[in-house]
Structure 1
């Protein structure tokens, strides 16, 4: 639609819609097959059920929305301190890092139901073991993918057709964002653990803390001192602070259990 038919942004929009439809079709087949034994009464709204869905669902909702809020904030300040070149460089960086973040999110989302199942059956130690495995696996992914990105940092901008100026800025800035992978790995698993164990307040802090911390750092601190480098460093600094907060919350919970 874009490369061959030259439909531009409209073509990209249609491609997105068609992609979503092709995902929905097999899901509808599964849904109708499974719902044959469910009566209409089963779809009646219950105040308590809706309340619990909202209370627990705010965490995964925030996990989905938070990266986009972060992207909006960084783009805004990138324009102010680096112009179109900085925005284009961050576009390449965000495409690459979002893949890694989705991998890390997959590990945390995969551990969440297992942790809930163990706690529901009273196997607290097994739940903690699953959390430990999730931490280890996430950190391994962060280290391996981070190393791969650093090794390929010179070639990555070329894949996106970046200009020389954008490519140079992207290559110089990627190490800053890669340094935050370990913090993100820890934060994602910690967040999933909190909402798996219905510690919703701690989960909310972890989920919505990053965009809030980033907004504070961008508005009042680093860009004023370091200009564009301060914009990039704000993202990693927010992740670092959030990881420290998550560690404090984990340690606090451990003390309460003792």
Structure 2
């Protein structure tokens, strides 16, 4: 294991930088599909890709739920010197994900049209949404395993390698998107094929590591344990919800926009949601990058070190939140024009305006994600779940309901800021309470 280096701060940077990059790259998969679809097909097709995003995010969130829960147990076991147990937990996790992936694929393909309509597909969008979701669904196993392996290879002490593999998949995705959408005119189906094949290709690289001589964590025989699965779910629930919150936000926003503004505003939100996913996933990268280190030192009983890692994470979140918000505010018009042609200046102007309102929530989101990730890493599942559920469901839906009732459609764009504020108050209160108990 390469979890202990020259200094704690060096280890922190060594783990979070590759993790942030990896999370950014993961979120770029669907965004790249959107860019090529917008340029190669139509704005309606772009909206269809956005309508389908909760499904893709859902696959990642299931994978992350088990991966983080599994990584926490593995890191704690390694901290205690229980290497064989770590291998058994790792192997069982992969088997469980394979079974879940096959089940999800079958259900989605059987109920494809009702599922697409549930996500918000109108009659205009439905054909494109069915094409995209129907093509992505058979790759569910690739989505789940690639994300899980990415998390576990960091726990194995190789965060840079994880970034290299993820980036390789993203580059392949761009190449395939260009060929299938632009050159071969395969439309949204081609974009889905590009993403699915890219995810599958990366799995081969991960297997090369875990089956090769460098891997510390290895496949091993195991006795199936529901207790381990339940422990994984408890530990990973908050991270899974944090990931799934991106999809839930898209779903709730799509419904609210259709009810209060109209179908054209879905194009604006599609662009906003891509940027939101990248920023929130990057903040998740801070939490995921510190998780193996925090869990490792928690397993060793070195309280000062894992508490210091939390401080590092909060500072990193503060810096990243500020830079992201400023960058998005100043570059709003340029970001919007990546997706939209200049022949619709009214839509561009509206999208830029509401985008600059929405991104104010970035200023607070990082703190909530990092604090929730900290509680996950030390197996305080109740605190972590409360933060994630408040942020992604309770506070968000409440904010949408209240602000749309008072301000109509304009309130939609302010609701994330209110939701993050409510969640931050809760998160800081829980952190203060936990610290008092430790004294």
Q: TM-score range by the shorter chain?
A: over 0.9
Deviation at 1:189, TM superposition (A): 0.5
Judging changes above 3 Å, is the alpha-carbon distance between structure 1 residues 252 and 17 closer, same or farther for their aligned structure 2 residues? Answer: same
SS in 1 for 2:382: helix
**CA 1:165–1:85 in structure 2 vs 1: closer, same or farther (change >3 Å)?**
farther
Q: Give CA deviations for 1:38-85 in whole Å, capped at 9, x if unaligned.
A: 55xx23212322221222122222122111011110111011112122
Pair 172,48 (structure 1): closer, same or farther in 2 beyond 3 Å: same
**Hey, what does 2:231 align to over in structure 1?**
52
36 and 72 in structure 1: CA distance in 2 versus 1, 3 angstrom threshold: closer
Q: 2:396 aligns with which of 203, 214, 217?
A: 214
**Equivalent of residue 198 in structure 1, options 379, 384, 404:** 379
Instruction: Note if 1:26 corresponds to 2:205.
Output: yes
| Number of residue pairs aligned between Structure 1 and Structure 2 | 255
How far is the alpha carbon of 1:36 from its aligned partner?
11
1:156-201 Cα shifts (integer Å, max 9, x gaps): 1111125323211221112222211121110011011111111111
Unaligned runs of 5+ in 2: 1-179
Pick which of 51-60 and 183-192 moved more: 51-60
Cα distance in 2 between the residues matched to 1:2 and 1:17: 14
Equivalent residue runs for 1:1-258 within 5 Å: 1-33=180-212, 39=220, 42-161=221-340, 163-210=344-391, 211-219=393-401, 221-258=402-439
Give the aligned CA root-mean-square deviation in angstroms.
1.9
Unaligned stretches of 5+ residues in structure 1: none
Contact 2:210–2:218 (CA under 8 A) maintained in structure 1: no
TM-score, structure 1 length as denominator? Answer: 0.92
What CA distance in whole angstroms lies between the structure 2 residues aligned with 1:179 and 1:256?
34
| 3-state SS of 1:83 partner | coil
Deviations 1:76-112 (A, max 9, x none): 1011112122211111111112111121111111112
Stretch deviating more after TM superposition (43-52 or 96-105)? 43-52
Q: State the secondary structure of the residue aligned to 1:155.
A: helix
* Matched residue, 2:95: none
CA contact (8 A) 2:211 2:218 kept: no
Distance 1:36 1:151 in 2: 44
Partners of 1:134 and 1:113 in 2: CA distance: 13
- Relative to structure 1, the CA distance from residue 35 to residue 8 in structure 2 (aligned partners, 3 Å threshold; closer, same or farther) is same
Give the Cα separation in 1 of the matches to 2:358 and 2:400. Answer: 15
Q: Which moved more, 1:103-112 or 1:167-176?
A: 167-176
Task: Please give the TM-score of this superposition, normalised by the length of structure 2.
Answer: 0.55
Q: Aligned partners of 2:305, 2:209: CA distance in 1, in Å? A: 32
Q: Distance in 1 between matches of 2:210 and 2:352?
A: 46
Q: What SS does the aligned partner of 2:184 have? A: coil
Deviation at 1:37, TM superposition (A): 7.3
Q: Which moved more, 1:192-201 or 1:3-12?
A: 3-12
1:226/1:29 CA distance change after superposition, 3 Å = same
